[in-house]
C-alpha cells in the first residue's frame, strides 16, 4: 500500500532517469507562472533527481548533475524573489 500525505497518496519515485524527465516535464509550470511557483517546482525536481540517483545506479552521476542543476536554479529564483518580493504575487 502506498503511503499517504496531506495531499493524498504519495507519489512513487520514478525508477529511471528517463522516467523522471518525463514525469517532471509533464509537471512544469506555465512559463508565465510566478517565480515562487517555479522555485517550488525546481526544488521538487531536485529532490526527485536526487532520489532517482539512488535507484537508477546506471545513471547515478547524471541524476546527481540534474539534482544540482535544479537546486542551483531554485537558489537563483530564491535570490530573485528576495530582491523583488512583488514578483511572487504575479
Domain locations in the chain?
Answer: 36-90
Q: What is the pLDDT of residues 17-28, one digit of tens each?
A: 999 999 999 999
Separation between Cα atoms, residue 74 and residue 42, nearest integer Å = 5
For residue 44, what is its C-alpha cell? Answer: 521538487
Q: What is the predicted pLDDT for the residue at 10?
A: 56
Query: 55 vs 13, which has greater pLDDT?
Result: 55
- The predicted-structure confidence for 29-48, as pLDDT tens digits, reads as follows 999 999 999 999 999 999 99
Give 42's contacts (C-beta < 8 A, 6+ positions apart).
70, 71, 73, 74, 77
pLDDT tier for residue 12 given thresholds of 50, 70 and 90? confident
Query: Distance (Å, rounded) from C-alpha 76 to C-alpha 83?
Result: 11
Amino acid at each position: 500500500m502506498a503511503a499517504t500525505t496531506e495531499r493524498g497518496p504519495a507519489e512513487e519515485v520514478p525508477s529511471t532517469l528517463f522516467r523522471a524527465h518525463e514525469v517532471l516535464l509533464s509537471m512544469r509550470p506555465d512559463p508565465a507562472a510566478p517565480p515562487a511557483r517555479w522555485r517550488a517546482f525546481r526544488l521538487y525536481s531536485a529532490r526527485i533527481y536526487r532520489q532517482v540517483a539512488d535507484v537508477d545506479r546506471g545513471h547515478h552521476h547524471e541524476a546527481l548533475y540534474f539534482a544540482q542543476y535544479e537546486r542551483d536554479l531554485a537558489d537563483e529564483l530564491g535570490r530573485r524573489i528576495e530582491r523583488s518580493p512583488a514578483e511572487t504575487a504575479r
